[in-house]
């Protein structure tokens, strides 16, 4: 019993105790982090959510000047059959004057078909302008009613709080009349 009293503590004992302290603390920290990550990652998109990652749409019935909205990953996707005037307007813009500079050609695969995620890049509202009679903003494209962002006929941000252009998703033409989004 005398050995365990404080007086009997030798320098070797102290360093052993320090080692135990450091080792236990380090193990706890690493173990805690290892345990925390699965809990955090479980909140990320699950396998079944990721599985719904692509969708196909037939664009035969969309007349020039018309647009459709489809749902992809829970978000609206705008597909617009642009008129010649709209394409011309989009291409004529001086890129240097834009908030998020991008040419029209960088945003489309075929100039007639503009495919974009219909979510305002400011805070996620769906901009108006898909249907006839809806406001299209000052630049003839889309207008977000939440905080007043104006997009042009190429879906580029021209005025308002949104920081970047409407996002173009990954998509491909599987044939002349079918678009696969995702």
Partner 1 sequence: MSGAPAPEFKNPVVRWIDVRLPVFTYIHNEYTGFPVPKNLNYFWSFGGMAMIALIGMIVSGIILAMQYTPHVDYAFESVERIMRDVNYGWLIRYIHMNGASMFFIVVYIHIFRGMYFGSYKQPREIIWILGVIIFLLMMGTAFMGYVLPWGQMSFWGATVITNLFSAIPVVGDFIVTLLWGGFSVDNPTLNRFFALHYLLPFVILGLVILHIIAMHIAGSNNPDGIDPKGPQDTVMFHPYMTAKDLTAIVVFVLAWAFFVFYAPNYMGHPDNYIPANPLSTPAHIVPEWYFLPFYAILRAFTEDSFLYIPISWLMDAKLAGVLAMFASIALLAVLPWLDTSKVRSCRYRPVYKWLVIVFTIDVLFLGYLGGKPAEGWYVTASYWATFWYFLHLLVLTPVVGWFERPKPLPASISKPVLDAAE
Q: Answer yes or no: 81 catalytic.
A: no
The verdict on 101 binding partner 1 (CB under 8 A) reads no
Task: Assess 43 for contact with partner 1 (CB under 8 A).
Answer: yes
Stretch 146-165 residues interacting with partner 1 (CB under 8 A): 146-148, 159-163
DSSP lists the bridge partners of residue 159 as: 150
Q: How far is CA 124 from CA 128, 152, 163, 173, in A?
A: 13, 18, 12, 27
The candidate with the shortest Cα–Cα distance to 141, out of 89, 94, 96, is 89
145 binds partner 1 (CB under 8 A): yes
Q: Per CB under 8 A, which region of 11-19, 27-35, 44-52, 102-110 contacts partner 1?
A: 44-52
Q: What angle do CA 27, 28, 33 make, to 5 degrees?
A: 100
Sequence-ordered list of residues with C-beta below 8 angstroms from that of 157, at least 6 positions apart, any chain: 98, 99, 100, 121, 149, 150, 151, 163, 164, 165, 166
Q: Which stretch binds partner 1 (CB under 8 A): 19-27, 70-78, 81-89, 108-116?
A: 70-78
* 74 touches partner 1 by CB under 8 A: yes
Cβ closest to partner 1, residue 159 vs residue 180: 159
The catalytic residue positions are 147
Site for partner 1, rule CB under 8 A: 40, 43-46, 49, 69, 71, 73-76, 99, 119, 122-126, 144-148, 159-163
């Amino acid at each position: 019993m005398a050995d365990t009293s404080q007086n009997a503590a030798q320098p070797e004992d102290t360093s052993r105790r320090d080692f135990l302290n450091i080792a236990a603390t380090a193990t706890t920290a690493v173990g805690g982090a290892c345990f925390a990550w699965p809990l955090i990652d479980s909140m990320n998109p699950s396998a079944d959510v990721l599985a719904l990652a692509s969708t196909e749409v037939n664009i035969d019935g969309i007349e020039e000047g018309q647009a459709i909205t489809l749902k992809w990953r829970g978000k609206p996707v705008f597909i617009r059959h642009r008129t010649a005037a709209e394409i011309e307007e989009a291409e004529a813009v001086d890129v240097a004057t834009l908030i998020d500079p991008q040419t029209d050609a960088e945003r489309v695969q075929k100039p007639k078909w503009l495919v974009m995620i219909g979510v305002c890049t400011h805070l996620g509202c769906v901009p108006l302008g898909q249907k006839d009679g809806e406001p299209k903003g000052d630049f003839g494209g889309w207008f977000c009613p939440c905080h007043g962002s104006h997009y042009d006929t190429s879906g580029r941000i021209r005025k308002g709080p949104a920081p970047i252009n409407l996002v173009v998703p990954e998509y491909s033409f599987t044939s002349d009349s079918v678009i696969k989004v995702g």
